[in-house]
A and B are shown apart, each in its own frame.
Chain A
Amino acid sequence: MMDAGRHPNIDVLTNAELIRLGGFPGNFRATVKKHPRYVDESLCTGCGLCVEDCPVVVHNEFEVGMGARKAIYSPFAQAVPNTHIIDRENCLNGDFLVCTNCMNACDRNAINYDDPGEELQLDVGAVVVATGFDVYDASAIPSYGYGLYDNVLTNMEFERVLNATGPTHGHIVRPSDRRVPKRIAFVQCVGSRGEGKEAGCEYCSRFCCMNAIKDCLLVKQHEPSIEELIVFYIDMRAAGKGFEEFYQRSREMPELRYVRGRPAKIFEDPASKDLLIAVEDGETGEVGRVRADMVVLSTGAVAAGSNAGLAGVLGIDCDENGFFKVETRYGSPLHTAREGIYICGCAAGVNDISDSVAQGSGAASEAEKYVVKLPAPEEPEEKPIIDSSGPPRVGIFLCHCGINIAGVLDIDSLKAYAEGLPDVVYVENNLFLCADDGQRLIQEKIVEHGLNRVVAAACTPRTHEPIFRESCEQIGLNPYLFEMVNVRDQCSWVHTNVPRIATEKAKDLIKMGVARARILQPLYRQSIPVKQSVLVVGGGVAGMSAALNLDAQGIKVYLIEKKGRLGGKLNNLARVYPANLSAFELSRTMVEMVGSSRVEAMASTEIASITGYIGNFDVSTTNGNFKVGSIVLATGGDIYAPGDEFEYGRYENVITNQELEDILYQSKGTVEIGGDVTGTVAFIQCVGSRDPGKNPACSRFCCPTTIKQAIRLRESGVNVVVLHRDMRTVGARAEEHYRHARELGVRFVRYTPERPPHVAGDGTRARRLEIRELALGRTLEIDVDHVVLAAGMVPNETSTARLQDILKVPRGADGFFMELHSKLGPVETTTEGVFVAGCVSGPKDIADSIAQGAAAAAKAAAIVTHETVPIEPTTCTVQEDLCRACGKCVEICDFHAPAIVEVSPGVHVARINQALCKGCGTCASWCPTGAIVSLHFTDEQINSMMDALLAG
């Protein structure tokens, strides 16, 4: 939010609504109604004086009604813009009462009770719809007692309870008596996966399972004394990268019990206000009542109430659930029926955070086709420059981070301590330093106190240093004179139980930070020219999607594919759900689009080497060499090849679902498997997935794939049995297809990993499946004609390892490429200028791969649409008078940055190419004469920290 709020090319219009959209793609005219805020955004500083004087106290919507706010308020702590707003419905300044407290309190005369609002006309090229979802109203299910019983909360309410900035400051108490609950029950699928209209929506809301697991872990962390956590669930849908591993980790928690069953009714014990949950345990068949102190309903997502109105304005349709309708012609989840209008996140159906982020970037990429390239953000004409050559004047800013830091560390004691450190002239603390007002505070104090070094004791420099540096730079202080001390991620969060010791540690860390800050030197960024082309590696759906998006933006693209033709795994599929497209048609359409574009597609081509850096990669392939500015990796994954599991390889009629897909691909009308058209086909799920020995991850797409194949088989008269652990039909329409399969008569039998199904047969054919049915408590024998193994996905070991080797993109424990951030950076990597899309970073379905391809295109384009890219000045340089040209640095550097040059006849020294230097500092460590200086990490700076810590 902060980033968007301060970006020079982004205007944030809050409290605003789109009321008309005319024109055509590339030239829309949007009419936006800005609702009155009654507070002038240009004047309000968010100081909060008005709030203190406001006499009206009402429920706070952000706290889901559990907290209070005034009639003039800031919606939440880190709101952008940080401007207050008056809730005129509750305000006492009206026709009969004339309260003007806030107006009187405001020093800047920002209050205007007669604010009429504003209507804006905007000329835009494209529209992206990202209006999100509404939370299901749990009171619609009376049997769960939400709204009747005090101690029944929704997951949204519970999130606020757990939140350090929430109404209880992160203390877990139950509403009826403010007591810490000992037993908390979570009820899953409230309003989701419903049977019949009154039970909510038919689809799966996808994120509630992970949300409940996370909440359980957080509860245990906040309240180690918790006695029992019970999760009532139907299927545990931990389907996403790293989710299954997280779920299995939670199962090791002794307090946490998973019960498979959907509660029928919740009763309240009127005396104790405890709750009794009537439920049948799906595994034992026992019917009972479970007592809990508190119940959390995992309410799902429903379409935003505003969708219908907005759809009318945009001229697009909503589906039967009220979500915006996606145009599925290209398999992409980003298109609407109206060209130039794109969609992302939960506006078109339920998505989790990382998929929403990827779709957001993807929609931006699609939209860019219609946008005239903006000039680079203009530099402010005259920048003040603060002279830092004099004696250091250090300012220290301590962040509370809500109570993330201040709840553990003793801020007053830190402040007093910091004031006594050498050269410290100013110390201040603030609730959220990273928020607008926190940043402004730093800027003001720099000017007011003539600070020339700034230390922030807050979270981690890995995420927040850029924000602070930018603020320093804006006010004229060289950004490299800023030092960040990590007292949250590496102190208050990890030494929560020993606040006194943690405070002492924080003092040491601040002392070290100040010592280093005092001798920091200003550094100046340079920029290097960029090659305005992109390399896409891999010609599957993700790669083609990236290439087509880049091409549509007018960027030169090289698309290389190892195999003889484009299409990737799409070439092996029959039909693509949810839209039931022909895979052949989809593949052909995309390949043709690539063919008719300016994309330089090269099949049967492999990478020989890639050297260089962001903006300037030299690519050498078996089909020629070229230069690119950024790279998209979309080499996909491999389908797991079963070993001898379930007698695969022994019996000819045990096949994988990939092999079945081939059969379905070739079948017209009725399906023929080895001559049979009838009989029984049994699917076994999670083959090579969710197996701690082999692959602990869930491959995510196998459940929907099985459903798709089961429906196809059932429709041609085959009996189908699916043996599964949890049916994880997440994703667009997957749950509806699952329901349809059941209605068609596909039978589903659950198995546990402890007692997997046994395949029995004779000669070359499997004849029978034996499976322990949990609820019946006995072994079922099913005669089968075919067994289909739902094989998951594993990384493509050779290509992934090779690319890792060439580009230094790290891989996770699962062998897939690691994203920069699992939620917020799903297509970025730690290597600048290199992006990932599709299954190369973990199993994904086709729609998600296409969205990621578009997202990676947006990121890659953001680099190559600029003439230059700035390079970090934290490199190494040589003090030439100390260098004796021994060549050790040349030998040690893997980036070929140093070289020995003859500066005058007979005099040789090492020089380091700043564009090639990555700033690791290894050469500085090895230089025998100490001639090499690792800028920003100099020997003096590191030694000063040790001196402060140990000698001070």
Chain B
Amino acid sequence: MAGKTEDKKKRKAGSGSTAGPKKKPSAKKAAAKKRTASRKKDFTPNIVVFACNWCSYAGADNAGVNRIQYSPNFRVIRTMCSGRVTPAFVLKAFKLGADGVMVSGCHFGDCHYIFGNYKAVEQFEKTKALVKTLGLDEKRVALEWVSAAEGTRWGEVIDNFVAQVTSLGPSPLNHSKKKRT
């Protein structure tokens, strides 16, 4: 609760200063800006990433081999194929307070199991519909393709998704997070 009021205060302070006349670019405004920025900065999202063993998980290893540095704000769960990820897994993650969930598999044509990734697409469409039904922003879920050779791309995909979820703020279902801030 304390967090909520603080949030409101910040928002007020922010909007107040922008609406005001331009005579004082002032420390106040700058401080408010800083606060909003720091609030966003303080929020580190809980993100679950399902990565298939053959392409995406290998791509993440490839990022390591190439020492590519990227955001640490996610945790990987390895599955053999992206087709293994049922909508229930994604919903469960949100239920437990995840702020974003990504499913990552092989590019079309690369799937170790021929068409597992096509099936992942079908499952993901269902997942997205369910996520929307829950009132969550569909930007909180993502389906990506990263090959075993695309370590750099893996880093970019993660960075972009983390930034996207961070900009959305905590998930409305993320009760623990609200208590924490």
Where the two chains meet, the residues of A that have a C-beta atom closer than 8 Å to any C-beta of B are 221, 460-462, 486, 488-491, 493-498, 501-502, 505, 508-509, 512, 804-805, 808, 810-813, 818, 830-831, 874, 892, 894-895, 918-922, 924-926, 934, 937, 939, 942-943, 945-947, 949-951
Asked if residues B149 and A818 are in contact (CB atoms below 8 Å), the reply is yes
Question: How far, in whole Å, are A874 and B81 apart by their CA atoms in the complex?
Answer: 13
27 A-B Cβ contacts within 8 A? A462-B58, A486-B61, A489-B60, A489-B64, A489-B65, A494-B67, A497-B69, A498-B72, A501-B72, A509-B75, A512-B75, A808-B113, A810-B148, A830-B54, A874-B80, A894-B113, A895-B114, A922-B83, A922-B84, A925-B119, A926-B119, A942-B89, A943-B89, A946-B93, A949-B46, A949-B48, A950-B98
B134 touches A (CB below 8 Å): no
Contact with A508, one of B75, B96, B116 (Cβ below 8 angstroms): B75
| Contact present for A462 and B53 (CB under 8 Å) | yes
Instruction: Tell whether B104 is near chain A: CB-to-CB under 8 Å.
Output: no
Does B115 interact with chain A (Cβ within 8 Å)? yes
- Asked if B64 contacts A490 (CB within 8 A), the reply is yes
| CB <8 Å contact, B149 and A921 | no
Question: Which A-chain residue is minimally distant from B89 (CB atoms)?
Answer: A942
Question: How many whole Å from A719's CB to the nearest CB in chain B?
Answer: 44
Complex CA–CA separation, A465 to B47 (angstroms): 26
Other 14 A-B pairs with CB < 8 A, given A486-B76, A505-B72, A810-B106: A490-B64, A493-B63, A493-B64, A496-B67, A497-B69, A810-B55, A811-B110, A818-B148, A919-B80, A920-B112, A924-B84, A942-B79, A946-B48, A946-B77
Restricting to B42-56, which residues have a CB under 8 Å from any CB of A?
46, 48, 53-55
Considering only CB atoms, which chain B residue lies closest to A495 in the complex? B72
A920–B80 touching, CB < 8 Å:
yes
Contact A946 to B110, CB < 8 A, known contacts A505-B72, A812-B149: no
* Complex Cα spacing A54 to B35, Å: 61
Q: Which residues of A contact B57 (CB under 8 A)?
A: 460, 462
Q: Which of A488, A892, A924, A949 contacts B75 (CB 8 A)?
A: A949
Q: Once the chains bind, are B68 and A918 in contact (CB under 8 Å)?
A: no
Pair B61/A462 contact, Cβ less than 8 Å: yes
**In the complex, which of the residues A805, A818, A874, A922 has the most CB atoms of chain B within 10 Å of its own CB atom?**
A922
List chain B residues, Cβ under 8 A from A496.
67, 69
A489-B61, A493-B67, A951-B96 given; A810·B110 CB < 8 A: yes
Q: What are the residues of chain B within 8 A of A488 when measuring CB–CB?
A: 64
Q: Which residues of B contact A495 (CB under 8 A)?
A: 69-70, 72
**Interface contact A920-B116, CB-CB below 8 Å:** yes
Q: Is the CB of B64 within 8 A of A494?
A: yes
Q: In the complex the two chains form, is A946's CB within 8 Å of B67's CB? A: no
- Chain B residue numbers with a CB within 8 Å of A926 are 86, 119, 123
What B residues does A831 contact at CB under 8 A? 112
B166 CB-CB contact with A under 8 Å: no
Residues of A with C-beta under 8 A to B55: 810
In the bound complex, how far is the Cα of B156 from the Cα of A494, in angstroms? 12
A423–B69 Cα distance when bound, in Å, is 34
Query: Of all chain A residues, which has the CB nearest B174?
Result: A950
Q: Is the CB of A946 within 8 A of B83?
A: no
Q: State how many angstroms separate the Cβ of B47 from the closest Cβ of chain A.
A: 10
| Cα distance A282–B100 in the bound complex, in angstroms | 55
Using C-beta atoms within 8 Å of the partner chain, give the interface range for chain B: 35 or more
The 5 closest A-B pairs by CB, nearest first: A489-B64, A922-B83, A921-B84, A950-B96, A920-B81
Please report the C-alpha to C-alpha distance between residue A498 and residue B60 in the assembled complex, in whole angstroms: 18
Interchain CB contact (< 8 A) of B155 among A494, A505, A830: A494
Q: Is the CB of B79 within 8 A of A937?
A: yes
Q: Is B109 an interface residue (CB 8 A)?
A: yes
Is the CB of B131 closer than 8 A to any CB of chain A? no
Chain B residues with Cβ below 8 Å from A808 are 111-114
Residue numbers in A under 8 Å from B72 (CB-CB): 491, 494-495, 498, 501-502, 505
* B29 lies within 8 A of chain A by Cβ: no
The answer to whether B109 touches A804, judged by C-beta atoms less than 8 angstroms apart, is: yes
Question: For A830, what are the chain B residues with a Cβ–Cβ distance below 8 Å?
Answer: 54, 112, 148
Point out which of B57, B86, B106 has the most chain A C-beta atoms below 10 A from its C-beta. B86
Q: How far is the CA of A918 from the CA of B80 in the complex (A)?
A: 9
Known: A489-B61, A508-B75, A937-B79. A925 touches B85 (CB 8 A): yes
Give chain B nearest CB distance to A817 CB in angstroms: 12
Residues in B with CB closer than 8 Å to A508 are 75
| Bound CA span A949–B93, Å | 9
Assess whether B97 is in contact with A920, with CB atoms less than 8 Å apart.
no
The residue of chain B having its C-beta at the shortest distance from the C-beta of A934 within the complex is B84
CA distance A947 to B54 in the complex (A): 25
Q: Is B78 among interface residues, defined by CB-CB distance under 8 A? A: yes
Closest residue of B by beta carbon distance from A498: B72
Report Cα–Cα, A221/B155, bound state, in Å: 16
Knowing A489-B61, A489-B64, A490-B61, say if A945 contacts B77 (CB, 8 Å).
yes
Which residues of A lie under 8 Å from residue B96 when comparing CB positions? 946-947, 949-951
- In the complex, what residues of B have CB within 8 A of residue A498's CB? 72
In the complex, the chain A residue whose C-beta lies closest to that of B44 is A501
Which residues in B have their C-beta under 8 angstroms from that of A945?
77
Across the interface, A937 reaches (CB within 8 A) one of B84, B88, B116, namely B84
B83 x A920 contact (CB < 8 A): yes
**For residue A492, which residue of chain B has the nearest CB?**
B64
Least CB distance from A231 to B in Å reads 20
- Closest residue to B151 on the A side, CB-wise? A494
- Which of B54, B55, B63, B113 is the most central at the interface, judged by chain A CB atoms within 10 Å of its CB? B113
Chain B residues lying within 8 Å of A947, measured Cβ to Cβ, are 96
- Tell me if B79 and A921 are in contact (CB < 8 A): yes
B8 to chain A, nearest CB (A): 27
Also in contact, A943 and B80, with CB within 8 A (given A494-B155, A894-B115) = no
CB of B81 within 8 A of CB of A946, answer no
A52 and B113 CA atoms in complex are apart in Å by: 53
Q: Which of A462, A508, A934 has the most CB of B within 10 A?
A: A462
Does the CB pair B81–A892 fall under 8 Å?
no
Q: Does B180 contact A (CB under 8 A)?
A: no
Complexed CA–CA distance, A943 and B93 (Å): 9
Please measure, in the bound complex, the distance between the C-alpha atom of A486 and the C-alpha atom of B60, giving whole angstroms.
10
**A496-B67 Cα distance, complex, nearest whole Å:** 8
A490 / chain B contacts, CB cutoff of 8 Å = 60-61, 63-64, 76
CA distance A525 to B6 in the complex (A): 58
CA of A410 to CA of B123 in the docked complex: distance in angstroms? Answer: 39
How near does chain A come to B167, taking the closest CB pair, in angstroms? 20
Complex Cα distance, B85 from A902, in Å, reads 30
B79 to chain A, nearest CB (A): 6
